[in-house]
């Protein structure tokens, strides 16, 4: 899942970001409310984790603006343990859940999965294209009903392609979305990862699901309906 995390306390943010990425999430992070709001508006996130006390636009103001704009992305608020009024106001504004600080990353992960299931429904978390099925909650991938063992990076790349079957993604787009850091544009990271995924899918006659587009990048094959 692709999530936005807005938190101004650097130590907490570094710890939480590392924990979320270890669990396979793709995390966009910012430390102020103004940038957080613009990112929330400009991008399609699966969930937003939002601290209430922020420089610039605070968390409740961001939530209110998003709901007024008709954006129904799941939002989890992070609050001080004794701030009951903030939690009540957040829920009344349309927050899907809240978590009091301090918290364990494992609890945050469980709450993320819970709100996504509740808001989107189980069917939204299962991607089915051709012979391949990918469950975004359990991280299980099957091809022709046979389980395919993928690393976290391979799973994220396959999910990224499967979410938009038929769309061509450049290597640069894939690098920025899956690896998420500065990179040498001549790197072969994407090609190597694609080759590994194809090799694993090939055992179950699914390698052709990922197509190379010469000189551009890759796309997931969209069967004719």
The total domain count for the chain is 2
Asked if residue 62 and residue 116 are part of one domain, the reply reads yes
How many whole angstroms separate alpha carbon 121 and alpha carbon 2? Answer: 17
Tokens of 183: 């990179």
Asked if residue 107 and residue 188 are part of one domain, the reply reads no
Beta bridge partners of 98: 77
Q: Which domain holds residue 88?
A: 2-120
Q: At what angle do helices 10-22 and 105-120 cross, to 10 degrees?
A: 60
Tens digit of pLDDT at every position of the chain (225 positions): 789 999 999 888 999 999 998 888 889 999 999 999 999 988 878 899 999 989 999 999 999 998 888 788 899 998 875 667 777 888 888 888 888 888 889 899 988 988 887 766 545 567 888 889 998 777 889 998 899 999 988 998 998 888 888 888 888 888 877 876 556 667 788 999 999 999 999 888 877 889 999 888 899 887 665
Asked if residue 94 and residue 35 are part of one domain, the reply reads yes
Asked if residue 160 and residue 84 are part of one domain, the reply reads no
Asked if residue 114 and residue 15 are part of one domain, the reply reads yes
Q: Is 23 helix (H, G, I), strand (E, B) or coil?
A: coil
Asked if residue 41 and residue 132 are part of one domain, the reply reads no
Asked if residue 137 and residue 85 are part of one domain, the reply reads no
Backbone angles phi, psi at 142, to 5 degrees: -125, 150
Residue 191 lies in a domain: yes
Indicate left, alpha or beta for 61 from its phi (over 0: left) and psi (-120 to 50: alpha).
Answer: alpha
- The CATH number covering residue 176 comes to 1.10.10.10
């Amino acid at each position: 899942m692709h999530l936005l995390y807005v938190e101004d306390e650097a130590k907490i943010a570094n710890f939480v970001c590392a924990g979320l990425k270890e669990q396979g999430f793709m995390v966009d992070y910012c430390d102020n409310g103004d940038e957080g709001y613009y990112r929330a508006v400009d991008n399609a996130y699966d969930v937003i984790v939002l601290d209430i006390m922020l420089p610039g636009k605070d968390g409740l103001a961001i939530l209110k603006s998003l709901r007024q704009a008709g954006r129904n992305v799941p939002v989890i608020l992070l609050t001080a343990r004794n701030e009951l009024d903030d939690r009540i106001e957040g829920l009344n504004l349309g927050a899907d859940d809240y978590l009091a600080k301090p918290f364990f990353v494992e609890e945050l992960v469980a709450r993320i999965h819970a709100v996504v299931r509740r808001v989107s429904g189980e069917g939204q978390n299962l991607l089915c294209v051709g012979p391949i099925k990918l469950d975004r909650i359990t991280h299980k991938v099957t091809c022709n009903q046979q389980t395919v063992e993928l690393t976290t990076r391979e799973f994220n790349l396959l999910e990224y392609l499967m979410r938009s079957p038929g769309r061509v993604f450049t290597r640069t787009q894939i690098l920025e979305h899956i690896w998420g850091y500065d990179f040498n544009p001549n790197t072969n990271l994407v090609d190597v990862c694609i080759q590994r995924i194809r090799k694993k899918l090939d055992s179950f006659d699914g390698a052709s699901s990922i197509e190379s587009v010469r000189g551009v990048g890759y796309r997931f094959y969209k069967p004719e309906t």
